């Protein structure tokens, strides 16, 4: 979005607003109500037309005169699913495809794919139901399925899960993350729920009265709030809620070296940059790491699967296989830090892949 | 689909029957016993002569019947010379030759008089008149405290109360009461004098006295058949056979029989049979069968009237409301206009249509159409305006075009409420359509109007009960449709 001016009548929302988002990433638009987050989203798919300025989608200028055409290629989902109550689930799912003249067999195939993808019951009886005959969680899944129908490269979602109960919500959040990892679409997500923003997005964009206060990764928001407003916004949420609802992967420190054994000693690999330094003995490596500010060696195998950590401060330097899982809440991470008497612990994903470390530093911001 | 084709075929049938009218003589009547009787006598006599006759009795007043004659909706009806001169032509002369000269340019002709005179007069309770010593109208001058009761027509017309007051220098207060009710009011001391026709049978029954018109204020009211000038000469000659066949006493007797509960057709047949003008009297079973046929036909006309009005109103109001549903100001203006139209009393609205559409089916249709607009317009508009805005955002968000949003989302969601509006309009119209009989539209209002005029409760019920049942039936029918569509939401 470039140099956008937008106002509702007299009420000015954006003046010369610009925002650049990268394909394939996921973004959360957050902020207090009235900050312009929904407006920003609706400008992205032409639901609103800016008074001035341009919107580019995948490098092509958005044509506001043909916004319907454009919207059909972008996914859109809102709170409470937005399913049409008078249509069956089949009709709801296939509405755009039917308007686009898809063949029935094509539609059926696509629906089958989507039902599978969203863990929805895959049988004819289910598709004949009306939205109100299924649970809120299922409605939301069908809503997402409808948004995904035309295989969009961008998904725009406006507080899609905010009407759901907490359990269904966290279930859907996790599944949606997997889905995105699988399909790789760009995601723009509007939410007033900070924990949700933390867990659902690579980058958070905090808006305040139509101005971007900060656009960063969730951990940066915690660790390095750019303005007083950001700090206050983060702090306004109860730490306990954040700790329970933010998962370790969103506050990971990836600025570390991991160690791999080699024929003639070991090599240290930087997790972010993949820079590699070889050492012929462990002592030299230890010195290097201490200078870098790292107090443990994290051993991984050739596939970067975690093996164990070796703390410098402890004697003997035993290899400790303990690790945290990326999908654990911060609260559990904190408990582990206290229990293990460590200031940092390794974090791995489900395939034991070393993701980074969770350290006390992350907590200072809370 | 079935309903649609039914309506279309009914419409075609109606047009067809309208074209076919040449063969049928349409006889009208005004809304009082004597006029009904005379019209029925005409009808029976012409039927005896082998003509096909359609009865359009019970028109709401002189002007309605007269304009029906002029526009060709009816071919003839019984009228009085005085009424023609005073109320229709508004001239002083009342001799038949002058009247016919004046009627000719209007396409109307007066035939030979029937033989009796039914003038207006003022009546009082005999007891009170005797006590006060009132014998003639000029005596009233000395009793300004007496209260009068007059029909609205009598109060308005040229030879009515206003002039009478001037000529006799009267200054009594009068109340507006319709004619059959004035007798009851007078009998029960609610009023002290009233207008009356000189052939009124209740004068005898209730022991009223007729005050002498000592200043010859009232014109002569000779009963005559008033016909369309282009009516077949043969028919006119046949009708002239009735001239001077009914005396004043015979008329009073016939009126009296009807008031006492004998059927119109029976009294008329007896009279004609006794005069040797018809050869036989129809049996009762026959007339019962006819009543059923009539009931069906009236119900059909009633449904046709309401149905077409509601369908037209829907066709007009639904797109209109849809078009303006996004413009609150325009909607407000339209709502106000239809709201004002709705406040016009139905009978007034129906009568207002006469100058534009004549009498009969057409003006009634237009009137009912106007009445149907508001409920349908309002329901459609509010239903469209009250759709959850998130659904509209959602529909736009997935890339539906505005027309697709309207037809695939808004309209189906608003449908139950639109049906509810049509339901209200239909039940409302079934009620209002009974009033359409006043302007000669037929339907179930016909027996109600006639029954009211003849003080015949069973006749009133013959219209009122089916009308009420019809209203309930249609209400239930639409309730089912509404429920069905609500269920699908």
Cis peptide leading into A316, omega within 30 of 0?
A: yes
Q: Which of A172-176, A250-254, B166-170, B446-450 has the highest mean pLDDT?
A: B166-170
Task: Test A78 with B401 for CB contact under 8 angstroms.
Answer: no
Q: Which residue has the higher pLDDT, B58 or B129?
A: B129
Q: What gap in Å lies between CA B229 and CA B236, rounded to an integer?
A: 9
Nearest of B256, B380, B268, B263 to residue B323 by alpha carbon: B380
Nearest of A141, A122, A127 to residue A87 by alpha carbon: A127
Paired sense of beta strands B223-228 and B108-110, if any: antiparallel
Span B109-157, pLDDT tens digits: 999 999 988 888 899 999 999 999 999 999 999 999 999 998 888 888 7
Task: Test A95 with B398 for CB contact under 8 angstroms.
Answer: yes
Confidence of residue A315 (pLDDT cuts 50, 70, 90): low
ipTM: 0.71
Q: Which residue has the higher pLDDT, B284 or B245?
A: B245
Q: How many CB atoms lie within 10 A of CB B135?
A: 15
Residue A362, pLDDT > 80, answer no
Helix (H), strand (E), coil (C) string for B286-301: HHHHHHHHHHHHHHHH
Min Cα distance B482 → chain A (Å) is: 14
Task: Test B398 with A146 for CB contact under 8 angstroms.
Answer: yes
Residue B157: partners with Cβ closer than 8 Å, 6 or more residues away: B86, B87
Task: Test A96 with B399 for CB contact under 8 angstroms.
Answer: yes
Q: Does B398 touch chain A (CB under 8 A)?
A: yes
Q: Does B397 touch chain A (CB under 8 A)?
A: yes
Span A182-239, pLDDT tens digits: 888 999 999 888 888 887 888 999 999 889 999 988 777 877 788 888 888 887 776 6
The overall average pLDDT reported for chain B is 85
Mean pLDDT across B258-274: 87
Q: Which residue has the higher pLDDT, A54 or B8?
A: A54
Mean pLDDT across B379-407: 89
Span B423-446, pLDDT tens digits: 999 999 999 898 888 887 788 888
Q: Does B411 touch chain A (CB under 8 A)?
A: no
What's the alpha-carbon Rg for chain A, to the nearest Å? 24
Q: Does B488 touch chain A (CB under 8 A)?
A: yes
Sign of CA dihedral B420, B409, B387, A81: positive
Residue A88: partners with Cβ closer than 8 Å, 6 or more residues away: A127, A128, A129, A130
The token duo for A173 is: 């959040």
Span B151-160, pLDDT tens digits: 888 888 777 8
Q: What gap in Å lies between CA B181 and CA B202, rounded to an integer?
A: 11
> Which candidate from B393, B401, B412 shows the least CB-CB separation from A78?
B393
> Which candidate from A47, A83, A86 shows the least CB-CB separation from B397?
A47
Where b means 16+ CB within 10 Å and e means fewer, A153-162 reads ebbbbbbbbe
Spatial strand order in the sheet of A2-8: A11-17, A2-8, A52-54
Span B342-377, pLDDT tens digits: 888 887 888 778 778 877 788 889 989 988 888 898
Supply the pLDDT for residue B12. Answer: 47
Which residues from A are below 8 Å from B400, CB to CB?
Answer: 68, 95-96, 99
Q: What gap in Å lies between CA B80 and CA B91, rounded to an integer?
A: 14
For B397, nearest residue in chain A (alpha carbons): A76
What's the alpha-carbon Rg for chain B, to the nearest Å? 27
Strand partners, A260: A267
Confidence of residue B22 (pLDDT cuts 50, 70, 90): low
> Which candidate from A72, A73, A80 shows the least CB-CB separation from B390?
A80
Mutation site for B-interface testing, chosen from A78, A82, A143, A145 by largest number of B Cβ within 10 Å = A82
| 3-state SS, residue B217 | coil
Mutation site for A-interface testing, chosen from B388, B390, B398, B489 by largest number of A Cβ within 10 Å = B398
Residue B1, pLDDT > 50, answer no
Min Cα distance A109 → chain B (Å) is: 20
Q: Does B413 touch chain A (CB under 8 A)?
A: yes
Contact B53, B238 (CB under 8 A): no
Span A119-146, pLDDT tens digits: 888 888 899 999 989 988 889 889 999 9
Q: Which helix (H) or strand (E) holds B429?
A: helix B411-433
Which residues from B are below 8 Å from A74, CB to CB?
Answer: 399
Which residues from B are below 8 Å from A84, CB to CB?
Answer: 391, 394-395, 408-409, 413
Q: Which residue has the higher pLDDT, A250 or B320?
A: B320
Contact A192, A33 (CB under 8 A): yes
First to last CA, chain A: 32
Spell out where B296-450 has E strands.
none
Task: Test A85 with B413 for CB contact under 8 angstroms.
Answer: yes
Residue B68, pLDDT > 70, answer yes
Residues of A with CB under 8 A from a CB of B: 45, 47, 68-74, 76-80, 82-86, 95-96, 99, 130, 132, 146-147, 156
Express as a percent the part of chain A with pLDDT over 70: 96
Nearest of A184, A211, A174 to residue A329 by alpha carbon: A174
Which residues from A are below 8 Å from B398, CB to CB?
Answer: 71-72, 76, 82, 95-96, 146-147
Contact B409, B349 (CB under 8 A): no
Contacts 24+ apart (CB under 8 A), A203-207: A203/A21, A203/A25, A203/A26, A203/A27, A203/A28, A204/A27, A204/A28, A204/A30, A205/A19, A205/A27, A205/A28, A205/A29, A205/A30, A206/A30, A206/A31, A206/A230, A206/A233, A207/A29, A207/A30, A207/A31, A207/A35, A207/A36, A207/A37, A207/A40
Residue A255, pLDDT > 90, answer no
Chain B, 145 to 204: residues with Cβ < 8 Å from chain A are: none
Question: What is the pTM for the complete model shown?
Answer: 0.65
The token duo for A77 is: 């989902």
Min Cα distance B388 → chain A (Å) is: 10
Mutation site for B-interface testing, chosen from A62, A68, A69 by largest number of B Cβ within 10 Å = A68
For A71, nearest residue in chain B (alpha carbons): B399
């Amino acid at each position: 979005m470039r140099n956008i001016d937008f106002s509702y009548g007299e009420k000015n929302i954006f003046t010369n607003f610009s925002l650049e988002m990268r394909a394939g990433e996921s973004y959360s638009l957050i902020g207090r109500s009235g900050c312009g987050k929904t407006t920003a989203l609706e400008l992205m798919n032409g639901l609103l037309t800016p008074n001035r300025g341009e919107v580019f989608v995948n490098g092509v200028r958005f044509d506001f005169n043909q916004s319907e055409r454009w919207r059909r290629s972008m996914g859109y989902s809102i709170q409470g699913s937005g399913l049409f109550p008078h249509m069956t689930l089949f009709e709801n799912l296939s509405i755009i495809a039917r308007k686009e003249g898809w063949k029935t067999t094509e539609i059926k195939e696509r629906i089958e794919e989507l039902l599978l993808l969203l863990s929805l019951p895959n049988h004819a009886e289910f598709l004949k139901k009306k939205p109100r005959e299924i649970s809120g969680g299922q409605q939301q899944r069908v809503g997402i399925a409808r948004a995904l129908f035309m295989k969009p490269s961008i998904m725009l979602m406006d507080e899609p899960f905010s009407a759901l109960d907490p359990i269904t919500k966290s279930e859907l959040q996790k599944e949606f993350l997997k889905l995105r990892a699988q399909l790789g679409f760009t995601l723009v997500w509007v939410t007033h729920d900070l924990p949700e923003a933390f867990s659902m997005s690579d980058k958070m964009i905090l808006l305040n009265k139509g101005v971007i206060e900060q656009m960063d990764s969730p951990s940066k928001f915690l660790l390095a709030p750019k303005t007083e407003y950001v700090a206050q916004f983060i702090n306004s949420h109860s730490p306990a809620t954040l700790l329970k609802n933010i998962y370790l992967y969103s506050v990971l420190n990836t600025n570390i070296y991991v160690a791999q054994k080699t024929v003639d000693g070991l090599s240290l690999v930087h997790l972010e940059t993949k820079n590699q330094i070889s050492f012929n003995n462990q002592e030299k490596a230890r010195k290097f790491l201490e200078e870098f500010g790292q107090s443990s060696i994290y051993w991984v195998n050739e596939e970067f699967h975690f093996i164990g950590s070796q703390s410098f401060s402890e004697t003997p330097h035993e290899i400790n296989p303990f690790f945290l899982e990326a999908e654990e809440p911060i609260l559990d991470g904190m408990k582990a830090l206290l229990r293990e008497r460590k200031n940092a612990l390794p974090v791995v994903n489900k395939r034991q892949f070393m993701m980074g470390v969770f350290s006390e530093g992350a907590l200072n911001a809370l | 689909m079935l309903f649609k084709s039914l309506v279309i075929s009914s419409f075609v049938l109606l047009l067809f029957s309208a074209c076919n009218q040449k063969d049928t003589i349409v006889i009208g009547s005004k809304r009082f016993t004597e006029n009904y009787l005379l019209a029925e006598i005409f009808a029976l006599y012409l039927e005896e002569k082998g003509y096909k006759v359609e009865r359009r009795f019970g028109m709401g007043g002189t002007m309605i019947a007269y304009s029906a004659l002029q526009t060709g909706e009816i071919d003839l009806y019984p009228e009085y010379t005085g009424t023609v001169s005073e109320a229709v032509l508004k001239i002083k002369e009342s001799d038949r030759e002058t009247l016919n000269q004046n009627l000719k340019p209007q396409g109307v002709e007066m035939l030979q008089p029937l033989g009796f005179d039914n003038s207006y007069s003022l009546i009082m309770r005999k007891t009170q008149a005797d006590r006060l010593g009132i014998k003639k109208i000029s005596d009233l001058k000395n009793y300004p405290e007496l209260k009068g009761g007059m029909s609205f027509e009598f109060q308005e017309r040229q030879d009515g109360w206003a002039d009478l007051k001037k000529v006799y220098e009267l200054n009594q207060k009068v109340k507006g009461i319709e004619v059959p009710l004035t007798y009851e009011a007078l009998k029960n001391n609610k009023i002290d004098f009233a207008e009356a026709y000189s052939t009124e049978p209740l004068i005898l029954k209730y022991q009223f006295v007729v005050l002498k018109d000592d200043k010859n204020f009232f014109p002569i009211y000779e009963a005559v058949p008033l016909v369309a000038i282009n009516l077949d000469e043969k028919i006119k000659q046949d009708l002239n056979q009735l001239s001077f066949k009914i005396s004043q006493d015979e008329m009073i007797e016939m009126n009296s029989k009807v008031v006492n509960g004998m059927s119109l057709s029976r009294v008329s047949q007896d009279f004609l049979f006794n005069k040797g003008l018809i050869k036989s009297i129809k049996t009762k079973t026959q007339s019962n069968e006819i009543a059923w046929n009539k009931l069906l036909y009236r119900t059909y006309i009633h449904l046709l009237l309401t149905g077409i009005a509601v369908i037209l109103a829907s066709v007009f109001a639904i797109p209109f409301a849809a078009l303006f549903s996004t413009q609150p100001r325009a909607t407000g203006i339209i709502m106000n206009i239809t709201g004002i139209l709705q406040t016009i009393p139905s009978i007034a609205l129906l009568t207002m249509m006469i100058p534009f559409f004549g009498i009969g089916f057409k003006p009634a249709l237009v009137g009912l159409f106007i009445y149907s607009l508001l409920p349908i317009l309002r329901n459609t508009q509010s239903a469209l305006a009250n759709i959850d805005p998130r659904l509209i955002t959602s529909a736009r968000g997935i890339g539906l075009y505005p027309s697709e949003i309207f037809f695939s989302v808004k309209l189906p969601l608003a449908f139950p409420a639109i049906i509810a509006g049509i339901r209200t309009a239909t039940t409302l119209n079934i009620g209002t359509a009974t009033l359409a009989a006043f302007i000669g539209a037929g339907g179930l209002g016909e027996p109600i109007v006639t029954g009211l005029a003849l003080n015949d409760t069973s006749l009133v019920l013959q219209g009122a009960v089916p009308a009420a049942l019809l209203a309930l039936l249609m209400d239930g029918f639409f309730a089912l449709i509404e429920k069905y569509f609500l269920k699908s939401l």
